[in-house]
Amino acid sequence: MTSMTMIEAIRDAHMVAMERDDTVVVFGEDVGYFGGVFRCTQGLQERFGDHRCFDTPISEAGIVGAAVGMAAYGLRPCVEIQFADYMYPAYDQIVSEAARLRHRSAGDFTAPLVIRMPTGGGIFGGQTHSQSPEALFTHVAGLKTVVVSNPYDAKGLLIAAIEDDDPVIFLEPKRVYNGPFDGHPDRPIVPWSKHPLGEVPEGHYRIEVGTARLHREGSDLTVLTYGTMVHVAEAAAEEHGLDAEIIDLRTLVPLDVDTIVASVTKTGRCLVMHEATLTSGFGAELAATVQERCMFHLEAPIIRVCGWDTPYPHAHEWSYFPGPARVGYAMRELMDA
């Protein structure tokens, strides 16, 4: 075991995957020489050469489209979109090409590729550098969508995603790159070196796509969440003295429904949280699933705490962000219902 930040863990996952399988190639804007704006691909070009890790022009549609073609003919591209907010020019390639190739060719061609994107706010990026667009992917049949919350999972999931035979959207909340951010921007950053999930095994291991993780066991209520909000939920529960069971979904599609059902059946109360805007967010899917599967075990209506239905504000980002105060308030409401 080595202590790693999430950036180092992602880097290490690339290293391991590229070492084991020389069909794995990495490309994107500034990922080669520069090592990526968040440094997630640092050292790959030195180690594997510029034919396996290379820079692209600012061409998101080209990056994803080329990855689809390469994947169809036997390579395993793992590409980076510098910020999830820059994904939109590539959306056609993601939806119409990557996601649908297998189905429309009746399995003749497939697109085993990974598209990594940093997501989320908390760096004063305003509306064009803070988005969490996971629901735009989960709505598309043919894509798998992963959101990571810590170094241990990030490495195992990225390796599994690269080895997956379907296209995987791999979302990395930038606020947890360097530590388990609990939603208190005014407090000093806790580094991953002080957190058990910052302990990362060396070499190859997989965390299967489609499996949730029980982040904290509890009996008062179930929190269904992912990414940065896992840590926010933990802080909020602690601050409000509640014994919350927190499930880090890790993969949104395919969803680990069994883990969700087992927990909500046990606690009878369910809080759904994400940083993305509320309306048509993935939380709606979660609430519907819980309602369908756990209706007769529920002791209170399901509550969602999410980003507002506005673009991500610049100056007020910490109000938009569903921090411990808002989450704690919702938890109390859920307990009192």
Ligand X SMILES: Cc1ncc(C[n+]2csc(CCOP(=O)(O)OP(=O)(O)O)c2C)c(N)n1
* Binding region for other proteins (CB under 8 A) out of 80-88, 97-105, 144-152, 286-294: 80-88
Based on the shown chain and the rule CB under 8 A, indicate whether residue 314 belongs to the binding site for other proteins: yes
Contact flags string 258-287 toward other proteins, x per CB under 8 A: --------------------x---------
Tell which one of 34, 50, 58, 254 touches ligand X (CB under 6 A). 58
Is 129 a residue of the active site?
yes
Reduce the DSSP state of residue 272 to 3 states and report it.
Answer: strand
Q: How is residue 283 written in tokens?
A: 């939380």
Based on the shown chain and the rule CB under 6 A, indicate whether residue 337 belongs to the binding site for ligand X: no
Based on the shown chain and the rule CB under 6 A, indicate whether residue 170 belongs to the binding site for ligand X: no
Based on the shown chain and the rule CB under 6 A, indicate whether residue 226 belongs to the binding site for ligand X: no
Rounded Cα gap, residues 226 and 242, in angstroms: 19
Tell which one of 126, 142, 210, 268 touches other proteins (CB under 8 A). 126
Based on the shown chain and the rule CB under 8 A, indicate whether residue 80 belongs to the binding site for other proteins: no
Reduce the DSSP state of residue 199 to 3 states and report it.
Answer: strand
Distances 233 to 109, 118, 228, 304, 314 between C-alpha atoms, Å:
41, 21, 9, 12, 23
> Choosing from 51, 103, 129, 139, which is the catalytic residue?
129
Interaction residues for other proteins, span 168-227 (CB under 8 A): none
Q: Which of 51, 272, 4, 28 is nearest to 153 (CA)?
A: 4
Nearer to ligand X, 88 or 109 (CB): 88
Residue number, nearest CB to ligand X: 86
Please calculate the CA angle 190-222-195 and round it to the nearest 5 degrees: 20
Nearer to ligand X, 37 or 298 (CB): 37
Q: Quick one: 81 exposed, middle or buried, by C-beta within 10 A (0-12, 13-18, 19+)?
A: buried
Based on the shown chain and the rule CB under 8 A, indicate whether residue 316 belongs to the binding site for other proteins: yes
Q: How is residue 297 written in tokens?
A: 């075990």
* Binding region for other proteins (CB under 8 A) out of 28-36, 168-176, 189-197, 238-246: 28-36
Q: Closest distance between ligand X and the C-beta of residue 120, in Å?
A: 16
Confirm if 231 and 149 have CB atoms less than 8 A apart.
yes
Rounded Cα gap, residues 197 and 12, in angstroms: 15
Q: Say if strands 2-3 and 199-200 run parallel, antiparallel, or are unpaired.
A: antiparallel
Based on the shown chain and the rule CB under 8 A, indicate whether residue 95 belongs to the binding site for other proteins: no
Q: Quick one: 310 exposed, middle or buried, by C-beta within 10 A (0-12, 13-18, 19+)?
A: exposed
What amino acid positions are annotated as catalytic residues? 129
Q: Which residues contact ligand X (rule: CB under 6 A)?
A: 29, 58, 60, 82, 86, 89
Q: Which residues contact other proteins (rule: CB under 8 A)?
A: 29-30, 33-34, 37, 55, 57-62, 85-86, 88-89, 123-129, 278, 308-311, 313-316, 319-320, 326
